[in-house]
Amino acid sequence: MSKELIDFINILLLDGEISEKEEKQVYEKANTLGIPDPECEVILESLLGQAQKKNNSAKSTVKKKIPRYQKKAALNNTDILNQNIEEELAKQQKALADSKSIQSQIDSHQDKRHSIIKKVEDFQNIRDELPNEYMRLLTQFKSKLEKSLGSKIIENNEFQNTLLYKANENSIINYFENATWDLSKLTIKRKIRYYIFTAGYYIICGYLALDWIWFSAEDGGIISDEQWMGFKWWQILIAAFLSAILGQMSKEKISKKELDFNTEDIKKKVNELLTDDLKEQLKLYNELKKELNSNNNLKSRKFK
Amino acid sequence: MSDKIQNQHLEELKKLNDSLSSENSKLDRLYKDFKAEANAVAKSKDKVKIYKKSIEVEITLKEYPSSAQGSVFFQNAMMSKYEAFGKEHLEKIARFFTFLEQLEDHYHGLYKTSSTFYFKDPHHSSIKDLYKTHEQLIGAYKLMLVLIIEVDRDQLVYHKVFNQIEDQGIFLSANEKLALKQMANISDKLNVVIDGLNVLIHETQKSNELLGKSLESISNLRSDIDWVSSDISNLGFEISDMQSEIWGLSQK
């Protein structure tokens, strides 16, 4: 019991003194511990004596320090902060109410949008058939052009890729001008021309030769003054020479693989074949395709 | 398909596309508005969090004293015990005092900065530092209290504490202490000492009820104590008085 009292007094004596107030507390502490006042007084005086003895030298030379208390900043912003919180909560409530209203509008517009998309789905058959219709028109046009130019275009996928849904006057002309024409197909027409000219040359030359061999005063002949089919011998000879030259020219063109039409010819033919009706039809297909594509984009639009 | 039908389809498709485009535009705008509202709510929530944090910090700052005066109290308390320490130990403890005073100055600076910034920025670095310094001061005060009380009582406890502080190099010379830069390192070392001595302090608390109460009161240091006294002679009148003395109160 007294040990606790001694500890208590020792703590109080850390500064070497006991004030009246502290003394009173010591007696109160002693009472609570059941130590009688006289005994408490003896302990107190004894410990005080020891402490004073120890302190004498120090106390005489060293002054006690006094704490310098700093003024505390006024920390009274809680009300303002609470008010700010209330304002923010009110803002949040308003924003949430607005969000709900917006959400319902979104739902309504989404419904409308879905009904439109459903109607658009009815155009699926057009979407499926349109490429075929389009290609049919273009193929017909191509065939007509090839026929009129007496040649054929070497087939490749570019025809479809380049012109499908892009066919207007310029793109068509551009495509056929730049297309690769098949020279082997071209020669058929020219070969005929060559054979005709060459045959004509040989026929005439042969006749002249025969006429020369069997020349007699009685029979006459083309070299004679007598006319053959209304032509004089020298006229027939010139025709034979011309046929030979033209035949030879055709032959040379074939061997050199030269076309006998140029880009201007193609342009001219395309313009001839590209009628207003065809243009309109192509335009319609283009627009349909454009709308279908646009519809695809509109349908697949994602909202975040 | 005839051209006429195709033309009809085209017209119909155009109309549908126009409607769809219009609906898309409306939805775009609505989603944008919705997002803006959601952002506003999120921002507002963040603001509320900051305001709440500011209130929390203000409460803590109110509880904390604006300046720490423990070193003054301990210096006065040591006066009667100079002889018990011996010259060598006293020199080293004097260095610990210097460190304590620096820590107290640092604390005061942090308190001032925190008091200025907490309203707008409750996450300001000074606030975190203030909490940390507060803890360190409490730890340092505990060590100092044990040293002063046990120097002429339980020598074993006294030396254990002293040696631990010495081992961590906290008794550095003035040249070695480069103000705050060094202080951070010393503070870290102080934490090591406090952690290492926790068991010892706990045992001391158990064996010495009064010291225990003193240590406990230091642990719960708050400035909102009713009874305030600047008179060192009143020290120890009540445990709460000691708290006031150690910390000093700005209200005074």
pLDDT per residue as tens digits for the range B21-40? 999 999 999 999 999 999 99
pLDDT for residue B250 is more than 50: no
Rounded to two decimals, the pTM is 0.58
pLDDT for residue B173 is more than 90: no
User: Confidence band (pLDDT; 50, 70, 90) for B8?
Assistant: confident
Asked if this assembly's ipTM is beyond 0.85, the reply is: no
Give the 3-state secondary structure of residue B243. helix
Residue type, B132: K
Nearest CB partner across the interface for A295, out of B17, B62, B232: B17
Residue written as token pair 């033309």: B7
Nearest CB partner across the interface for B77, out of A15, A91, A280: A15
In this structure, what token pair is assigned to residue A125? 């058959």
A146-164 as b/e, with b when 16 or more CB fall inside 10 Å? Answer: bebbbbbbeeeeebeebbb
One domain, residues A289 and A173:
yes
Closest CA to B77 of B97, B55, B57: B97
Best-predicted range by mean pLDDT (A73-87, A257-271, B68-82, B208-222)? A73-87
Q: Are residues B237 and A19, on separate chains, in Cβ contact within 8 Å?
A: yes
One domain, residues A148 and A23:
no
For chain A, the maximum distance between any two Cα atoms, rounded to a whole number of angstroms, is 193
One domain, residues A254 and A199:
yes
B219: number of Cβ within 10 Å: 14
The tens digit of pLDDT for each residue in B99-116 reads 888 888 888 899 999 998
Stretches where chain A sits below pLDDT 50 are none
Alpha-carbon radius of gyration of chain B: 32
How high is the pLDDT of residue B239?
43
The percent of residues in chain B predicted with pLDDT above 70, rounded, is 67
Provide the domain count of chain A.
Answer: 3
Closest CA to B197 of B170, B163, B221: B163
Question: Is residue A208 included in any domain, yes or no?
Answer: yes
One domain, residues A238 and A214:
yes
In this structure, what token pair is assigned to residue B57? 């910090």
- Please check whether residue A266 is in contact with residue A176, taking contact to mean a CB–CB distance below 8 angstroms: yes
In this structure, what token pair is assigned to residue A153? 């275009």
B162: number of Cβ within 10 Å: 22
A233 or B121, which is more confident: B121
* Alpha-carbon span A175 to A163, nearest angstrom: 8
Q: Domain ranges in chain B?
A: 64-247
Question: Is residue A93 included in any domain, yes or no?
Answer: no
pLDDT for residue B174 is more than 50: yes
The percent of residues in chain B predicted with pLDDT above 90, rounded, is 23
A263: number of Cβ within 10 Å: 12
A273 or B224, which is more confident: A273
How high is the pLDDT of residue B91?
86
Q: Which of B7, B11, B18, B37 is best to mutate for the A interface (most A CBs within 10 A)?
A: B37
How high is the pLDDT of residue B218?
65
* Alpha-carbon span B128 to B134, nearest angstrom: 10
Residue of A nearest to B237 (CA): A22
pLDDT for residue B62 is more than 90: no
- Please check whether residue A176 is in contact with residue A259, taking contact to mean a CB–CB distance below 8 angstroms: no
Chain A residue numbers touching B9 (CB-CB < 8 A): 123, 126, 288
B187 or B157, which is more confident: B157
Question: Is residue A290 included in any domain, yes or no?
Answer: yes
* Alpha-carbon span A158 to A164, nearest angstrom: 10
The tens digit of pLDDT for each residue in B124-165 reads 999 999 998 888 888 888 888 888 888 887 888 888 888 888
Residue of B nearest to A50 (CA): B80
B235 or A157, which is more confident: A157
One domain, residues A166 and A285:
yes
Q: Are residues A67 and B7, on separate chains, in Cβ contact within 8 Å?
A: no
Give the gap in angstroms from C-alpha A93 to the nearest C-alpha of chain B: 9
One domain, residues A150 and A219:
no
- Please check whether residue B177 is in contact with residue B98, taking contact to mean a CB–CB distance below 8 angstroms: yes
One domain, residues A125 and A7:
no
How high is the pLDDT of residue B151?
85
Q: Would you give the distance in Å from CA A301 to the centre of its chain?
A: 14
Chain A residue numbers touching B117 (CB-CB < 8 A): none
Question: Is residue A68 included in any domain, yes or no?
Answer: no
Question: Is residue A16 included in any domain, yes or no?
Answer: yes
Torsion sign (Cα): B40, B41, B43, B44 = positive
Give the 3-state secondary structure of residue B2. coil
One domain, residues A141 and A255:
no
Question: Is residue A66 included in any domain, yes or no?
Answer: no
Q: Are residues B10 and A21, on separate chains, in Cβ contact within 8 Å?
A: no
User: Confidence band (pLDDT; 50, 70, 90) for B53?
Assistant: very high
Kindly give, in sequence order, each residue whose CB lies less than 8 Å from that of residue B170, ignoring residues fewer than 6 positions away.
B95, B96, B99, B186, B189, B190, B193
pLDDT for residue B198 is more than 50: yes
Domain that holds residue A284: 119-179+274-304
How high is the pLDDT of residue B114?
93
Give the gap in angstroms from C-alpha B29 to the nearest C-alpha of chain A: 10
Residue written as token pair 């999120």: B42
Which DSSP letter does residue A153 get? E
Give the 3-state secondary structure of residue A105. helix
Question: Is residue A86 included in any domain, yes or no?
Answer: no
Nearest CB partner across the interface for B236, out of A11, A95, A116: A11
One domain, residues A156 and A17:
no
How high is the pLDDT of residue B183?
57
One domain, residues A8 and A139:
no
Nearest CB partner across the interface for B148, out of A14, A291, A304: A14
Torsion sign (Cα): A7, A8, A10, A15 = positive
Question: Is residue A239 included in any domain, yes or no?
Answer: yes
Torsion sign (Cα): A229, A231, A234, A235 = negative
Chain A residue numbers touching B233 (CB-CB < 8 A): 15, 17, 19, 22
